[in-house]
A and B are shown apart, each in its own frame.
Chain A
Amino acid sequence: MSALLSVEDIHTFIGQSHILEGVSLQVDRGSITALLGRNGAGKTTTLKSILGLTPPRAGRVVFDGQTLNGRRTFDIAGLGIGFVPEHRAVFRDLTVEENLRIAERRKGDLARKADFIYGLFPDLKRLNKLKGGQLSGGQQQMLAIARSLVPDNRLLLIDEPSEGLAPVIIEQMMAAIKTLSEQSTVLLVEQNFIVASQLADRYTLIDDGRLVQTGRMADLVQDRATIHRYLGAA
Chain B
Amino acid sequence: MPQSLSRYRPLLISVAVVLAFFATLSATMEARIWVSILLSGLTLAALYFLLASGLSLIFGLMDVLNFAHGSLFMLGAYAGWTFYTNPRVIFNTAPLFLALFAGLGLARWTHLLADRLPRRGLGRWLGLAVVVLVAVALLTLGFQAFPLDRLVAFGTTVAGRQVATAEAQEPLTQGLTRLVLLFLAGGVLSLGVGSRDVRQASAGPTSATTPSTLRAVGLPAVLVGLSIVLLLVRDAGETLMLKGLPSDLRFLLALVVGAATGALVGGLIEVGLIRPLYARPIYQVLLTLGLLFVFDQSVKAVWGPAGAFMEIPAFFNTASDRCPSPDLIAWLSDHCNSIMVLGRPFPSYRLFIIVVGVLLLAGVALLLQRSRLGIIIRAGVQDADMVQALGINVRRVFTLVFALGAGIAGLGGVAAAPFVGVNPGLALGFQLPAFIAVVIGGMGSYAGAALGALIVGLARAFGDYLVLTGVQLPGMSQALKASPTVANASTVLIMALVLLIRPSGLFGKKD
A85 to B206 CA separation, bound complex (whole angstroms): 27
Chain A CB within 8 A of B248 CB? no
Instruction: Encode B391-413 as 1/0 by CB contact (under 8 A) with A.
Output: 11111000000000000000000
Chain A CB within 8 A of B388 CB? yes
Given A70-B200, A98-B375, are A93 and B382 neighbors across the interface (CB < 8 Å)? yes
Which chain A positions have C-beta within 8 A of B387?
102
Q: Are B382 and A77 closer than 8 Å at their CB atoms?
A: no
A98 to B390 CA separation, bound complex (whole angstroms): 13
Chain A CB within 8 A of B474 CB? no
CB distance from B451 to the nearest CB of A (A): 18
CB distance from A90 to the nearest CB of B (A): 9
A151 to B389 CA separation, bound complex (whole angstroms): 12
Q: Are A85 and B386 closer than 8 Å at their CB atoms?
A: yes
Q: Are A101 and B388 closer than 8 Å at their CB atoms?
A: no
Interface of B is mostly: helix
Instruction: Encode B202-246 as 1/0 by CB contact (under 8 A) with A.
Output: 011111000000000000000000000000000000000000000
Residue from the list B200, B390, B394 in contact with A103, Cβ < 8 A: B390
For B, the interface residue count at a CB cutoff of 8 angstroms equals 26
Which chain B positions have C-beta within 8 A of A85?
386, 389
Chain B CB within 8 A of A171 CB? no
Chain A CB within 8 A of B329 CB? no
Interface residues of B in 328-371 (CB under 8 A from A): none
For A, the interface residue count at a CB cutoff of 8 angstroms equals 27
Which chain B positions have C-beta within 8 A of A92?
382
Q: Are B388 and A94 closer than 8 Å at their CB atoms?
A: no
A71 to B197 CA separation, bound complex (whole angstroms): 11
Given A53-B388, A77-B389, are A71 and B204 neighbors across the interface (CB < 8 Å)? yes
Interface residues of B in 420-453 (CB under 8 A from A): none
CB distance from A132 to the nearest CB of B (A): 9
Residue from the list A53, A75, A101 in contact with B372, Cβ < 8 A: A101
Which chain B positions have C-beta within 8 A of A51?
389
Which chain B positions have C-beta within 8 A of A103?
390-391
Chain A CB within 8 A of B314 CB? no
Q: Are B203 and A71 closer than 8 Å at their CB atoms?
A: yes
Which chain A positions have C-beta within 8 A of B379?
91, 93-94, 102
Q: Are B389 and A73 closer than 8 Å at their CB atoms?
A: yes
Residue from the list A71, A77, A102 in contact with B376, Cβ < 8 A: A102
A75 to B207 CA separation, bound complex (whole angstroms): 9
Given A91-B378, A91-B383, A101-B375, are A74 and B204 neighbors across the interface (CB < 8 Å)? no
Which chain A positions have C-beta within 8 A of B381?
93
A74 to B392 CA separation, bound complex (whole angstroms): 5
Using CB atoms, name the residue of chain A closest to B374.
A98
Chain B CB within 8 A of A83 CB? yes
Using CB atoms, name the residue of chain B closest to A54.
B385
CB distance from B383 to the nearest CB of A (A): 6
Chain B CB within 8 A of A78 CB? yes
Give the top 9 A-B pairs by smallest Cβ distance, nearest first: A77-B391, A70-B203, A83-B389, A78-B391, A91-B379, A73-B388, A74-B393, A102-B375, A71-B204
Which residues on B are within 8 Å of A, measured CB to CB?
A: 200-201, 203-207, 372, 375-376, 378-379, 381-383, 385-395
